[in-house]
Amino acid sequence: MGDAELRAPTSERHGATLRGKGLALVVAAVVIAGDLWSKSAVFAHLEPMQNLWLLGGEGMGFGFHEVMNKGTMWGKFQNLSDYLPWVRMVAALVVLAMLLTTPAHARVMLAALGLVFGGALGNIYDGFRFQGVRDFLMVDLGWPGFDPFPIFNVADSSICVGVAFLALSMWFQPQEESPGAAAERPRA
């Protein structure tokens, strides 16, 4: 380790800092606000089991349908609803650790982590406040196997889009060479 690295604070040497992470934090805040607002607005105006089609209708459409999901994706593990907010909290801490150690120049990865982190926090809030997650977005494309598609929310969408962008950013990110690899490479 060089003299400059030794003089730098530990958080800068290891990359675990909020410096340059504003994009991710703004994205997460927007997701949380949009998620909680949309859930509150829809749940305040819809009756349980009521369908409100915004585009099209049954068989091919998009709308709202109020569901309190006590489980995970597609309503799985409903018998574990007391533990799920805590499991989601651990997952959010892992995402936060990834966010803190992501270089500031990796903007797509930071935005993706912001989407995942914001979505996770929106669903964590629901899990502790309502003992389930408020889902309401309904998509019916008439496709076999997805007829109808499971009801979801803004947080779920943000997590899925964030994970997709995270995977793409990792896939297309140039491989960084370790400091010792260049020294070990034979010279021509």
Q: What positions carry a catalytic annotation?
A: 135, 156
CA proximity to 135, closest of 58, 60, 46: 46
Task: List the structure tokens of 122.
Answer: 């929106």
**DSSP 8-state symbol, 42:** H
Q: Please, which residues have CB within 8 angstroms of residue 77's CB and are 6 or more apart in sequence?
A: 71, 84
Q: Please, which residues have CB within 8 angstroms of residue 34's CB and are 6 or more apart in sequence?
A: 154
Counting Cβ atoms within 10 Å, is residue 105 exposed (0-12), middle (13-18) or buried (19+)? exposed
Q: Count the alpha carbons within 13 Å of 168 in the hemisphere toward its beta carbon.
A: 11
Tally of CB atoms within 10 A around 3? 7
Helix extents (H) in 46-106? 84-101
